[in-house]
Amino acid sequence: MPDAVYKKIEVTGTSSTGQDEAIQNAIAKASQTIKNMRWFEVVESRGNIKDGKVDQYQVTLKIGFRLDG
């Protein structure tokens, strides 16, 4: 394996549906500007409550991507 270097960014995705979709939304958004994304790590899961119900799941990820050689 070559001595690649990776950068991690921290992104919060949201969804009214669930935690998995919040993760997917975060990654979909990040993919618009970042190439070579390889992995994610969940670092926080929280959300908004409205009228006594979950209004929005908010999942914060670290996303790791390879820096160009």
Residue 53's CB is within 10 A of a number of other CB atoms, namely 7
Q: Which amino acid is at 13?
A: G
Closest CA to 67 of 38, 36, 32: 36
Contact between residue 27 and residue 14 where contact means Cβ atoms under 8 Å apart: no
| Number of chain residues interacting with a second copy (CB under 8 A) | 51
Closest distance to a second copy from the beta carbon of 66 (Å): 9
Q: Which of residues 7-66 bind a second copy (CB under 8 A)?
A: 7-16, 18-20, 22-31, 37-42, 44-49, 52-57, 60, 62-64
| Footprint on this chain of a second copy (rule: CB under 8 A) | 1, 3-16, 18-20, 22-31, 37-42, 44-49, 52-57, 60, 62-64, 67
